[in-house]
Chain A
């Protein structure tokens, strides 16, 4: 449940921080789905193993692409090819967009460090 709520909160975050055209811009939708799959824990190693998707080296990215494509197909009446192409177009940019965490929060330690960086942001940006 935590993972599901985190996934949706990332969509809510994107809605608040950017001009996202959810309905007519497939690239925007694809980008938010890539970020949600990437940052919510959807594609953790454990979750993928439970789905019988076995892979290690860079498998996280394969999972993110696949799940983002599935999420698009769930809400858009388009072909899998079109959805996949949209994900491919935006992947490089959106996969590496870690806002608001600054990193992929794999577990509570990473989340704690991300929160620490957030609390420290004034000191950080005024001293670089």
Chain B
């Protein structure tokens, strides 16, 4: 986290509001229930929106800390599963060519 005065919320406050609104929508409830079998949890988006607005109004250090913590938790949650494959540094040079067929069973 950048400690200097150039820090800003990771997302614009409008993005937090949009995510919260989407999360609370009936359509998202249906999608989430269909995929995960449970109702979506939207409270964190509401807290992040409040923190974002708090930071914009008062430059609150607590709001900054809360936002950073929340977003790091999201990143951790997205990366918690061990990948099946090893990631590349760059695409293969022949990515655009058909795959070699000689190993096909």
Q: How many residues of B contact A (CB 8 A)?
A: 39
The reply on A116 being an interface residue by CB < 8 A is: yes
Contacts of B22 in A (CB 8 A): 109-110, 113
B26 at the A/B interface (Cβ < 8 Å)? Answer: no
Q: Find chain A residues with CB under 8 A from B37 CB.
A: 57-58
Does A120 contact B11, Cβ atoms closer than 8 Å? Answer: yes
Complex alpha-carbon distance, A52 and B43, angstroms: 36
For window 27-69 of B, CB contacts with A under 8 Å fall at: 30-31, 33-37, 68
Contact assessment for B34 and A60 in the assembled complex, using a CB-CB cutoff below 8 Å: yes
**A18-B87 in contact (CB<8A):** yes
**From A22, A110, A116, A128, residue with most partner B Cβ within 10 Å:** A128
Would B88 and A17 count as touching, CB distance under 8 A? Answer: yes
- CB contacts under 8 Å to B, within A16-38, are 16-20, 22-24, 27-28, 31
In the complex, chain B residues whose CB is within 8 Å of the CB of A125: 10
B81 touching A92 by the CB < 8 A rule?
Answer: yes
Q: How far is the CA of A12 from the CA of B94 in the complex (A)?
A: 12
Closest to B90 in A: A16
Chain B residues at the A interface, C-beta cutoff of 8 Å: 1-2, 7-12, 15, 18-19, 22, 30-31, 33-37, 68, 71-72, 75, 78, 81-88, 91-92, 95, 99, 103-105
Given contacts A24-B103, A61-B35, 15 further A-B pairs with CB under 8 A are: A12-B95, A14-B85, A16-B91, A18-B88, A19-B86, A58-B35, A58-B36, A93-B84, A96-B81, A110-B22, A113-B18, A116-B15, A120-B12, A123-B8, A123-B10
